Chains A and B, each alone.
Chain A
Amino acid sequence: MDRDRAALNRLPRWLVPALAALPVMGLGVFFAWPLGTLLARVVRPSSVVDALRTPGLGGVLWFTLWQAVASTVLTLVAGFAPAYLLARYRFAGRRALMALVTVPFMLPTVVVGAAFLALLPQSWHGTGRAVVLAHVFFNIAVVVRLVGALWAVLPADLTAAARTLGASRTQVLRHVVLPLLRPALWAAATVVFLFTFTAFGTVRLLGGAANPTLEVEIARRATQLGDVDGAAVLSVLQLVALATVVWWSSRWQRRAAVPFDAPVGARRARSRNERRLLLFGAGATAAVMATPLLVMVSRSFRLGGAWSLRGWRTLSTAEVRPGLSLGVDPLASLTASLRFALVAATVAVVAGGLAAFAITSARRHGRWLDVGLMLPLGTSAVTIGLGLLITFDSAPFDWRAEWWLIPVGHALVATPFVVRALLPVLRSIPADQRAAAAVLGASPLRAWWAIDVRRLAGPLLGSAGLAAAISLGEFGATTFLTRAGRDTMPISIARLLARTGEVPRAQGFALATVLLVATATVIVLADRRGVLDVGRA
């Protein structure tokens, strides 16, 4: 490779370390350190051998792998058309449709899973294909958002140019659109793969007893058998496998990144055919995504086979009837959830924003930070929770009882999303934009600020909304941390749904509906500035 041609306008050397400092520290203190402590405490060489010799481990690994791959591929396929419609067209109800697509991803399985299961025929219950189908439903938002965000900035003229050169629509798709979308496709595939590989609730609920994944096995060892060292070993195995996948795929994302000029933005459907296509596509997507949610909502109105508002009317108190209380105050848990979401979103946006800038400015070494931030997604919540427990148990780090550990746990999960959403946007800024700023007198640092940072204001706000929505629905890490004070909504819902009795059950679904509405509202508000419309100020 030639000498560094842009050497005169390089960013100052302290910028990347300064940007990366906070996210690296956060990752180190709240992820690497607890994980390391747990491993050091419980793992002995014999436990490694024992864990790896578990009968049936091969089968578990195989199932985990194929269902993750199948889910990833099918989700990419299923999300492709909705991504296109939402990215390129402006139409009435666009934001509502985007929220509808995103909400299932944010909601914990305990909330929508039963409704989804109820819609499947009995012969599908407890099968691998039910798991894959559920994964597509829950993860389609990842594809729509990540691919859509990049598709939104593809100049329309590129496809037009290809058409005038004689390319059919399929050829345009294959030779122009898909190659340009590749970084987003890889990003989406990575995230969906991570999620489906480490899925817990969906697998247990839909796959039933006969189809455990590695994550289910890890949780079983830790919480059912008290075999923490075996769980820790398997967790490391899982982490190493996933880290490899993420590392390898981040290569594809970077290599394929092509900068674009100022985007044109979405437009209205023009021809009659386009309108029909849009109506059909949007309608079908809305119907598929809404049905399980509607089933869930309808259950909050059904008591004893009849329609009733009882579940809703008792929602404001912890009492089911005089003298009979469940100790679950639904509205108090709503407030608790919102507070945690606010803190978690702030942490995630600050850490994620800094990290995204650091990754794009650091060129080659940025990949380490990128992969590092994804690691918490690939680690079992069980191991993170236990690690936090034994690491922060004495002064000056006696933090395990602190309330803020929960939103920090949420932020560990939400930050990679912020980064994933911001990276393609940052990478699509043409180098000449910074050159233009430079010749107008902006020092490299000021040019970076004026171009990269300012252009990201909208997407950052949108990411904050996503991070908040993720926090609202977070269940896995939260159950694993010991909690004082009010429970979050997902925890309260799980408690209500686990009781005998139709009133608590209806209350549980009513609270689930509240969570659904709260999450959808946050998403709609976050999208107001247009997560997919990066061209606007």
Chain B
Amino acid sequence: MLAAREVVVRFGERTVLDRVSLEVATGEVVALLGPSGVGKSTLLRVLAGLLVADGGSVWLDDRDITDLPSHRRNIGLVFQDEQLFPHLTVAQNVGFGLRMRRSDRAAVAARVDELLVLVGLPEFGQRSVVTLSGGEAKRVALARSLAPRPAVLLLDEPLTGLDRDLHDRLVGELADVLRATGTTALLVTHDHDEAAAIATRTITL
């Protein structure tokens, strides 16, 4: 279970997050809704350890992880602009998290294949990420985040900016993948329909 308790973030004069609390229970897929600029992405970054808050705390399964660096939290994050590593292939991107945990090669290869199949890109391992289309890139980003089996997966507007058909297709696929892997997830979006389709619960900030 992931919890934010009384998180405060101020940028200069502006208070972006004012004692915000939320909880995501294990197995839940929670959608965080709200208009642009309200602080949703900021909250995600605090949860991921990428941003230090001015007040409050972050808890994971009864452990206070507020001061824990990102790489030890086992909390994944799918970025809005994917942030794939351009100098690595698709397979190398997807297997990155496992290699960081020093899994052996065979295990990594197997898991990479498994995930590529899961996101519908079975033959894409050796491709260079610079050549991927928008939809393919998003799928690879998702696969990459899921590969190391994070305790919680955060998604920062993962499907924003796609055309309607692709968007709708990916919404369904994302919902399926999250359910199939039993991932606990917190999804930030401004699209109510998207939230309804993917999430088990919706919060508005």
Contact = CB atoms under 8 A, between A and B. Distances in A.
Interface of A: 2-9, 261-265, 430, 432-433, 435-444, 446-447, 450-451, 454-455, 457, 535-537
5 contacts: A263-B86, A432-B83, A436-B85, A439-B145, A536-B128
Given A2-B11, A6-B51, A435-B50, A441 B83 contact: no
A446 B100 contact: yes
A414 to B, nearest CB: 25
B71 A9 contact: yes
B52 A3 contact: yes
Contacts of A444: 69, 71
Given A441-B71, A442-B100, A5 B130 contact: no
B97 interface: yes
Given A264-B130, A265-B130, 15 more contacts: A3-B52, A6-B52, A8-B49, A8-B52, A435-B48, A438-B69, A439-B71, A440-B97, A441-B74, A441-B100, A447-B71, A450-B96, A535-B86, A535-B130, A536-B128
Interface in B30-57: 48-52, 54
Contacts of B79: 432, 435-436
Nearest to B84: A262
A439 B44 CA distance: 12
A436 B101 contact: no
Contacts of A8: 49-50, 52, 67-70
Interface string B1-33: 000000000111000000000000000000000
Nearest to A436: B83
A537 B70 contact: no
B77 interface: yes
Interface in B131-152: 144-145, 148, 150
Contacts of B87: 454-455, 457, 535-537
Contact of A9 (B70, B76, B130): B70
Contacts of A447: 71
B115 to A, nearest CB: 13
Q: Which 4 pairs of residues, A with B, have the shortest CB-CB distance? A: A440-B97, A262-B86, A438-B70, A441-B100
Interface residues of B, number: 39
Given A435-B83, A439-B70, A9 B50 contact: yes
Contacts of A446: 71, 100
Q: Is the interface of B mostly helix, strand, loop or mixed?
A: loop
B88 interface: yes
Contacts of A454: 87-88
A439 B146 CA distance: 11
A262 B129 contact: yes
A439 B145 CA distance: 8
A439 to B, nearest CB: 4
B121 to A, nearest CB: 18
Contacts of B144: 440
Interface centre among A432, A435, A440, A457 (most CB of B within 10 A): A440
A441 B128 CA distance: 22
B191 interface: no
Contacts of B83: 430, 432-433, 435-436
B108 interface: no
Given A5-B52, A8-B67, A440 B88 contact: no
Contacts of A441: 71, 74, 97, 100-101, 148
Contact of A433 (B11, B49, B85, B128): B85
Contacts of A535: 86-87, 130
A454 B81 CA distance: 21
Interface in B99-113: 100-101
A436 B69 contact: no
Given A432-B83, A440-B148, A9 B97 contact: no
A438 B71 CA distance: 5
A3 B11 CA distance: 10
B89 to A, nearest CB: 7
B116 interface: no
Contacts of B74: 441
A504 to B, nearest CB: 51
B75 interface: yes
Contact of B71 (A6, A261, A430, A442): A442
B49 to A, nearest CB: 5
B52 A537 contact: no
B130 A443 contact: no
A211 B144 CA distance: 64
Nearest to B75: A439
Contacts of B10: 2
Contacts of A450: 85, 96
A6 B145 CA distance: 21
Contacts of B48: 435, 438-439
A265 B130 CA distance: 9
A300 to B, nearest CB: 44
Residue from the set A3, A8, A437 with the largest chain B CB neighbour count within 10 Å: A8
B41 to A, nearest CB: 11
